A and B are shown apart, each in its own frame.
Chain A
Amino acid sequence: MTILMSGVNMYAMAVVMKVVLGWNINFSIWLSSLTVGIYVAAGGLFSAIFNEVLQFFLIWFGALIIPILGLIETGGWKGMVARIQQNFPGQDYTHAWSTLGRFQDNPMGMHWTGIVFGLGAVQAMGYWTTDFLVVQRVLSAKDIRSAKMAPIIGSFFKMAVPLIVILPGLLGLAVLPMHLVPASSLQPGQYSYNEVLPLMLARYCGPGLLGLGITALVAGFMAGMAGNVSASATVWTYDIYRPFLRKTAPDQHYVSMGRWCTLIGLFVSIGTAYLAMGFASIMDYVQALFGFFIAPLFGTVLLGMLWKRVSCAAGFWGLLAGTLSSVTMFTLMKLDHRWVGVFALSPNAQGLAQDMYQALWSCVTCVVVTVLVTLVTKPRPDEELKGLVYALTEVAHEEHTSFLRRPLFWGVAAVAVLVVLQIIFW
């Protein structure tokens, strides 16, 4: 999963270099992977996280200028909406919930059940709890309060990400003279959805700002690539190689193993970067990947953590069934459109909507199979489950701290902001 995601970042970065700099896409992919390979192999997780902090600031300051200038050009939010309605009559791109009552009422062919259960309950919760890139950052926290605060702080920025991702896309609909097309049906002289951010950069930015903007995008993709590759190296070295293949070796050996794994991971990522080209947009590909891996894994982790009766065999077969069902649904929907009406509940469901339902059903499949296999297999004694199951684990408590420093306070604040945003963009 992390290797496939790393490939996504590589491809996205190559697209930026192709659109803005006119570089060859293959050369761009290799150059970016080489750069990331050097600093991750040399510095490991520390360098990846250190660079992520620096890149975080570059991303925001490099990308934020686009919506600012875009809104000035369109005369503010209302002006932008008016232009979109003029360019795409009858389509609503600026409301989150009001058009989700029927599949055919919004451009994504989405229904609210897909958003609430597929995206909200499975994809989003699964991402925050089982995506190793996220989990690894929390595990590297210095104490329990920092570990709790990391995703909460992240949630505030996550809620602000539409400012630099969705808003430039909307502004692109309003001001760009060309109509964008899916990457999978791109013809010479046309531009794909993936290229909207670089196109907006080139529209507003002269040499200086363009440099910052490109750096911002490249930094973002490099951060993603480095994080995913270092995560895969850690999983292999610490969770597979050390406990199962070579239990006693000097630390230097494991460090070397991690570095080799990083390099191999990068080479595999290069291959997966080309896979991303076959999808209508990068987002379609990412959500499909989440449906394959994150959604069923979320079911396994949730049951395994909260129900001590779950056996190893149940976890394995549940996860396998969930993943296979996800791949099967995806393949059937791509091969024959009639299956879209079955799995995604409507033939009007578009790519992302299909991904949401695919994730939901794969998670449900995983849970059902896990429960069924659990009931016919022997449970493990409690002594073996200490530290693994929530009910049998002593959870560390935070040190007493002031009200404003408590994760609970900021968690409630994040929920409040989320609710307000839903109301504003209803």
Chain B
Amino acid sequence: MTEKHHIIQVWFFVGVLLLVYGFLIFASGLAEWSHPPNTVLAELHAPVWWGGLLFVLGLIYCIKFSPARKS
């Protein structure tokens, strides 16, 4: 077999997804920091730490499964 197919792993797309969602949620958490929404436990600022967690996980996946990285 001479032809080599290069398939981007699904884990890379998982990373991109988490990265984008993490960033958006983190940013929305910062935007509402001084004016928290009318929800229960709004003072905990869950979007900031949950969005941050998603962003970091997404970043790790993106780097680890990057198509540019040789396996």
A residues sitting closer than 8 Å to B (CB atoms) are 50, 53-54, 57-58, 61, 65, 69, 72-73, 175, 202-209, 211-212, 215
The size of the chain B interface, using a CB distance under 8 A, is 24
Q: B18 on the interface (CB 8 Å rule)?
A: yes
Chain B nearest CB from A203 CB (Å) reads 5
**What is the distance, in angstroms, from A59's C-beta to the closest C-beta of chain B?**
12
Can you sample 30 A-B contacts with CB below 8 Å?
A54-B10, A54-B13, A54-B17, A57-B17, A61-B18, A61-B21, A61-B50, A65-B46, A65-B50, A69-B44, A72-B41, A72-B44, A73-B40, A175-B40, A203-B39, A203-B40, A204-B41, A205-B39, A205-B46, A206-B28, A206-B32, A206-B36, A208-B25, A208-B29, A208-B51, A209-B25, A209-B28, A209-B46, A209-B50, A209-B51
Smallest Cβ-Cβ distance to A65: which chain B residue: B50
In the complex, are the beta carbons of B46 and A204 less than 8 A apart?
yes
A contact patch SS: helix
User: Is B10 a contact of A208 with CB atoms below 8 Å?
Assistant: no
Q: Given A58, A72, A204, A208, which contacts B28 in the complex, CB threshold below 8 Å?
A: A208
Which 4 pairs show the lowest CB-CB distances between chains A and B? Answer: A208-B28, A206-B37, A208-B25, A208-B47
B21 touches A209 (CB 8 A): no
Complex: A61 Cα to B27 Cα, angstroms: 17
B contact residues around A212 at 8 Å (CB): 21, 25
* B 2-49 contacts with A by CB, 8 A: 10, 13-14, 17-18, 21, 24-25, 27-29, 32, 36-37, 39-42, 44, 46-47
Which residue of A has the minimal Cβ distance to B47? A208
| In the complex, residue of chain A having the shortest beta-carbon distance to the beta carbon of B48 | A208
List chain B residues, Cβ under 8 A from A205. 39, 46-47
For the complex, is B62 an interface residue (Cβ under 8 Å from A)?
A: no
Neighbour of A69 across the interface among B24, B25, B27, B46, CB < 8 A: B46
Task: Kindly list chain B residues whose C-beta atoms are within 8 Å of the C-beta of A57.
Answer: 14, 17-18
Known: A208-B29, A208-B47, A215-B21. 20 other contacts (CB 8 A): A53-B10, A53-B14, A57-B14, A58-B17, A61-B18, A61-B50, A61-B54, A72-B41, A204-B46, A205-B39, A206-B28, A206-B32, A206-B42, A207-B28, A208-B28, A209-B25, A209-B28, A209-B29, A209-B47, A212-B25
Cα–Cα distance between A353 and B27 once the two chains are bound (Å): 47
Contacts of B21 in A (CB 8 A): 58, 61, 212, 215
Q: How far is the CA of A215 from the CA of B50 in the complex (A)?
A: 15
Secondary structure at chain B's binding surface: helix, strand, loop or mixed? helix
Write out the residue numbers on chain A whose beta carbons fall within 8 Å of the beta carbon of B36: 206
Q: How many angstroms from the CA of A65 to the CA of B49 in the assembled complex?
A: 11
Q: Which chain A positions have C-beta within 8 A of B41?
A: 69, 72-73, 204
A152 to chain B, nearest CB (A): 20
Centre residue among A57, A58, A69, A203 by max chain B CB count within 10 A: A57
Q: How far is the CB of B25 from chain A (nearest CB, A)?
A: 4
Q: In the complex, what residues of A have CB within 8 A of residue B13's CB?
A: 54
Chain B nearest CB: distance from A183 CB in Å?
Answer: 25
Smallest Cβ distance from B45 to chain A, in angstroms?
9
Chain A residue with the shortest CB-CB distance to B10 = A53
Asked if A204 and B14 make an inter-chain contact with CB atoms under 8 angstroms apart, the answer reads no
A215 to B32, alpha carbons, bound, how many Å?
20
Which residue of chain A has the shortest Cβ distance to B53 in the bound complex? Answer: A61
How far is A57 from B17 in the complex, measured between Cα atoms in Å?
Answer: 9
CB distance from B15 to the nearest CB of A (A): 9
State the Cβ distance, B42 to closest chain A Cβ, in Å. 7
Shortest Cβ distance from residue A387 to the other chain B in the assembled complex, whole angstroms: 29
Given the known interface contacts A206-B36, A209-B25, the answer about A50 and B50 at a Cβ–Cβ threshold of 8 Å is no
Across the interface, which residues of A come within 8 angstroms of B44, CB to CB?
Answer: 69, 72
Chain A contacts for B28, CB-based, 8 A = 206-209, 211
A235 to B24, CA, bound (A): 41
